[in-house]
């Protein structure tokens, strides 16, 4: 018998080409079961009730004609009409009996599956698999229903019919109408697959692409305890892990980011007639990651294998069985949003004025949206929602989709980046913030707000309608100048998106941003944690370092992850990381910092930069920085990371810092490690030949060099009118250091990472005349300044 005329097809009989017979979900399961099990990927066995069986059922019971009549003249934008007709269609399907021959086929194959697993009645997941779902341009995210922990033939037959009815849920009808799919050219197959006992362990989703930016070199994994439905529905905020694919494939444990989610509840097997129910997660468990590092690595390797097999970015579901402690892949489909975007078009949403922050959560997308708030706590209130309002709710599920597509933006209390609200918002191109915790309490209906997702992984809800602009740049034919154009970066969360701007790497990666925003604690306070007497400081440290017994490891891990995100975003291009360059007053502002910092009259020229790293008072803290950098290079494999020493006043200081680096596993020239020095003090220029003997290159810090050349405190408003990087004296020193570095044998590279070329295109042109090797710019100035540099290079070529 032909596949097209079978009621049942087992996974081992199906391949991806069989979507017309078994739908996208089942075709993908069959593809993986048949082709990827031999590569170590575990896929639970099962079978599909085919699209032929679905059509047979509708035709034999004449249900198809009744559905056509019910849906004639439907307007999906009329929520009440859609709801009324959808309910009538589902009622009609559920009232019809499955033909006996179809029932017999399903029951017999269920018995075979039970025998395969050596059980009398094996527990199965029953999922819908539409013949048009999971296509590259339509995700059908959660359009049809899923029924978990189904046991016994009678319950299975009921679940199959419910799945068929779910092809006509309100949201599925609406979605197909909007996408232009004919209701009757789409059929439904039903997936019947052995349950993975993740109710006793954990489960989640993963992508082989970064879902917010389209950066293709990472695997993004979300994980929570229990069955996976709570992640998709946004009931929990899951853990989030990022793994860097290029060095993972080289054998490194490249988990470049781990974020702990609030996993306070989980979905587990129910009792009696209740298939599943909610259960609490113990406090000790929700403060732990749901996956171990080896499990994260294993899943990431699977993601790479699956992506290579399908030859496109993929969206996958996984589960861990609490009985055998094994990981399983339970679904894979094409990623349908970021993978299809044109990488040559850079779109920047720019907020032109900041306002009062009302709440914040995880940013979905990189856009800005605004409008009038409409707080809707129950799906039954959907009729109150109006076009272009901001939907604020606790969480969404597929029933909300008819109004989600009308929203100017969406904000939810719960959920992570792979919950339903996030998935649908991405596909619709709507700004969204999930996991705020309190949006439905803080925000009030009719209040005007602006949603800003442009600041990285955190999205902000501002009070009022703030002005913003959209800047679009096509870089398809963008030429590279001879002078290397690099970037200045501090925020790891924007690195993936900014990597798409034409560049030659990062000339300045600032540790200060990572320490101030992600660590927030003075390193010596972590080292001396047990001696802290200030109860407020201790309480804050305990909150920030939850889950860490070793408090100093928190500093090392968070700094390493921040640096690694930037290094991964630009890999294999150079990323030059400047060692921490806080002044003593800035260090004092970190939690617990006042106990370890002196009060200086002029911290700008006080205890900062190189002088800290070898001093007995700070050496223990600097060693934590070294451990973080060592982890980035050796554990994550990001050897494109270089080191830069700031505010190095003398040759003796430079040698002392290099010695400390070497003693802590960061030996210059070993494993390709280059160490640069900032040129920001006149002594760096005067003794450039000597500095060139111990360092691999210079990076001009024009801000400090201007201050110290002109004797101007750059923080003083009284003399700010004198401060100008374009002053002849400053330019003379810049010219000198470039010449001395280039004349040195061997030749030393010189770049600039100060603000001047970003602010003044003519200063950038001056640097080109001096034949500087690289210019590092703020991301928002790269395109415009590069055009000026190209003009200058063209002039010099003509001469």
The span from the CA of 92 to the CA of 221, in Å, is 40
- How far, in Å, CA of 492 to CA of 506, rounded? 12
Q: Say how far apart CA 547 and CA 538 lie, in whole Å.
A: 15
Residue 650 neighbours by CB distance under 10 Å: 16
Query: Burial, 352: exposed, middle or buried (Cβ in 10 Å; 0-12, 13-18, 19+)?
Result: exposed
Q: Of the residues 210, 286, 420, 522, which is catalytic?
A: 420
User: What distance in Å separates the CA atoms of residue 310 and residue 27, rounded to the nearest whole number?
Assistant: 12
- What are the tokens at 240? 């989030």
- Active-site choice (304, 419, 626, 753): 753
Burial, 770: exposed, middle or buried (Cβ in 10 Å; 0-12, 13-18, 19+)?
middle
Angle at 369 between CA 368 and CA 371, to 5 degrees: 150
Strand order in the sheet with 124-130: 8-10, 46-49, 188-194, 124-130, 146-150
Region class of 368: left (phi > 0), else alpha (psi between -120 and 50), else beta: beta
Q: The dihedral of CA 348, 244, 754, 620: what is its sign?
A: positive
Residue-by-residue DSSP string for 120-157: SS--EEEEEEETTTTBTTB--TT-S-EEEEE-SHHHHH
Spatial distance between the Cα atoms of 457 and 242, rounded to a whole number of angstroms: 13
**Spatial distance between the Cα atoms of 219 and 300, rounded to a whole number of angstroms:** 6
Q: Quick one: which of 481, 483, 480, 499 has its CA closest to 491?
A: 499
User: What is d(CA 26, CA 210) in angstroms, rounded to the nearest whole number?
Assistant: 25
| Bridge pairing between strands 202-207 and 314-320 | antiparallel
> For residue 572, is the peptide bond before it cis, meaning its omega torsion is within 30 degrees of 0?
yes
Distance CA 88, CA 83 (A): 9
d(CA 671, CA 721): 46
Q: Which residue has the tokens 């004639």?
A: 72
* Distance separating alpha carbons of residues 616 and 350, to the nearest angstrom: 45
Catalytic residue flag (residue 753): yes
Ramachandran bin of 67, using left for φ above 0, alpha for ψ from -120 to 50, beta for the remaining angles = alpha
Longest dimension (CA), the chain: 94
* Cis previous bond, 746, omega within 30: yes
CA-CA-CA-CA dihedral for 354, 359, 364, 370, to nearest 10: -50
The reply to whether 304 belongs to the active site is: no
The two three-digit tokens of residue 367, written as one number: 């856009």
Centre a 10 Å sphere on the Cβ of residue 35 and count the other Cβ atoms it contains.
Answer: 14
Helices (H) and strands (E) in the chain, counts: 30, 30
Residue 383: CA atoms inside 13 Å, Cβ hemisphere, count? Answer: 8
Residue whose entry in the numeric block shows the structure tokens 């970064």: 210
- Rounded to whole angstroms, the Cα distance separating 164 from 54 reads 7
Which is nearest to 562 in space by CA: 495, 645, 634?
495
User: Could you tell me the CA-to-CA distances from 168 to 49, 186, 215, 221, 316 in Å, in that order?
Assistant: 18, 11, 35, 31, 25
3 state DSSP class of 441 = helix
Only one residue has tokens 């859609």, namely: 82
Q: Which residues are known catalytic residues?
A: 420, 753
């Amino acid at each position: 018998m032909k596949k097209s005329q079978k009621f049942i097809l087992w996974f081992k009989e199906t391949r991806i080409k069989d979507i017309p017979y078994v739908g996208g979900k089942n075709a993908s399961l069959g593809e993986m079961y048949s082709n990827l099990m031999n590569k170590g990927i575990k896929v639970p066995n099962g079978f599909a009730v085919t699209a032929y069986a679905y059509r047979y059922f509708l035709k034999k019971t004449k249900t198809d004609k009744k559905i056509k009549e019910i849906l004639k003249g439907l307007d999906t934008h009329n929520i009440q009409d859609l709801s009324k007709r959808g309910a009538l269609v589902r009622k009609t399907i559920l009232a019809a009996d499955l033909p006996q021959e179809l029932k017999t086929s399903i029951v017999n194959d269920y018995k075979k599956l039970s025998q395969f697993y050596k059980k009398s009645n094996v527990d199965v997941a029953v999922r819908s698999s539409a013949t048009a779902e999971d296509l590259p341009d339509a995700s059908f995210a959660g359009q049809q229903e899923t029924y978990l922990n189904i046991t016994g033939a009678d319950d299975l037959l009921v679940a199959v019919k419910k799945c068929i009815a779910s092809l006509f849920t309100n949201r599925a009808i609406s979605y197909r109408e909007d996408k232009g799919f004919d209701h009757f050219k789409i059929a439904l197959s039903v997936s019947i697959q052995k349950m993975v006992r993740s109710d006793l362990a954990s489960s989640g989703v993963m992508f082989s692409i970064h879902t917010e930016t389209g950066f293709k070199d990472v695997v993004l994994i979300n994980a929570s305890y229990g069955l996976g439905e709570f992640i998709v529905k946004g009931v929990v905020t899951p853990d989030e892990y990022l793994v860097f694919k290029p060095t993972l494939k080289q054998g490194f444990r490249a988990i470049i980011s781990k974020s702990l989610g609030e996993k306070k509840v989980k979905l587990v097997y129910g009792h009696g007639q209740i298939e599943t129910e909610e259960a609490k997660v113990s406090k000790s468990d929700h403060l732990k990651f749901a996956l171990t590092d080896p499990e994260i690595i294993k899943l990431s390797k699977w993601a790479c294998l699956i992506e290579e097999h399908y030859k496109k970015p993929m969206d996958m579901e996984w589960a861990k069985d609490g009985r055998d402690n094994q990981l399983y892949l339970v679904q894979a489909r094409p990623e349908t949003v970021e993978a299809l975007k044109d990488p040559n078009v850079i779109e920047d949403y720019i907020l032109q004025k900041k306002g009062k922050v009302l709440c914040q959560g995880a940013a979905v997308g990189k856009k800005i949206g605004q409008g009038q708030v409409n707080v809707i706590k129950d799906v039954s209130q959907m009729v109150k929602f109006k076009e272009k309002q901001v939907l604020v709710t606790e969480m969404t599920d597929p029933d909300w989709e008819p109004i989600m597509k009308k929203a100017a933006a969406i904000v939810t209390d719960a959920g992570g980046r792979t919950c339903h609200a996030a998935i649908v918002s991405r596909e619709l191109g709507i700004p969204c913030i999930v996991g705020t915790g309190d949006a439905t309490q803080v925000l009030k209906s009719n209040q005007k707000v602006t949603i800003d997702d442009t600041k990285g992984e955190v999205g902000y809800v501002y009070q009022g309608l703030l002005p913003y602009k959209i800047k679009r740049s096509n870089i398809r034919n963008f030429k590279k100048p001879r002078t290397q154009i690099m970037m200045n970066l501090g925020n790891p969360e924007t690195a993936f998106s900014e990597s798409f701007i034409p560049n030659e790497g990062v000339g300045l990666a600032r540790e200060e941003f990572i320490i101030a925003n992600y660590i927030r604690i003075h390193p010596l306070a972590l080292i001396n944690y047990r001696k802290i007497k200030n109860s407020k400081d201790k309480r804050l440290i305990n909150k920030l370092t939850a889950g860490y017994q070793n408090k100093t490891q928190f500093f090392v891990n968070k700094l390493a992850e921040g640096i690694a995100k930037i290094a991964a975003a630009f890999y294999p291009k150079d990323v030059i990381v400047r060692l921490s360059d806080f002044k003593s007053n800035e260090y004092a502002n970190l939690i617990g910092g006042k106990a370890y910092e002196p009060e200086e009259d002029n911290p700008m020229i006080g205890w900062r930069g190189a002088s800290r790293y070898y001093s007995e008072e700070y050496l223990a803290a600097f060693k934590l920085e070294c451990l973080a950098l060592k982890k980035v290079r050796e554990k994550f494999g990001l050897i494109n990371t270089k080191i830069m020493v700031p505010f190095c006043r003398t040759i003796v200081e430079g040698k002392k810092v290099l010695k400390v680096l070497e003693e802590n596993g960061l030996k210059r020239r070993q494993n390709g490690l280059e160490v640069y020095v900032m040129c920001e003090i006149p002594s760096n220029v005067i003794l450039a030949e000597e500095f060139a003997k111990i360092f691999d290159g210079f990076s001009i810090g024009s801000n400090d060099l201007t201050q110290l050349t002109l004797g101007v405190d750059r923080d003083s408003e009284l003399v700010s009118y004198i401060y100008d990087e374009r002053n002849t004296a400053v330019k003379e020193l810049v010219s000198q250091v470039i010449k001395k570095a280039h004349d040195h044998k061997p030749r030393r590279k010189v770049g600039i990472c100060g603000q001047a070329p970003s602010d003044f295109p003519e200063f950038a042109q001056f640097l080109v005349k001096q034949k500087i090797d690289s210019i590092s710019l703020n991301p928002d100035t790269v395109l415009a300044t590069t055009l000026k540099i190209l003009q200058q290079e063209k002039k010099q070529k003509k001469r």
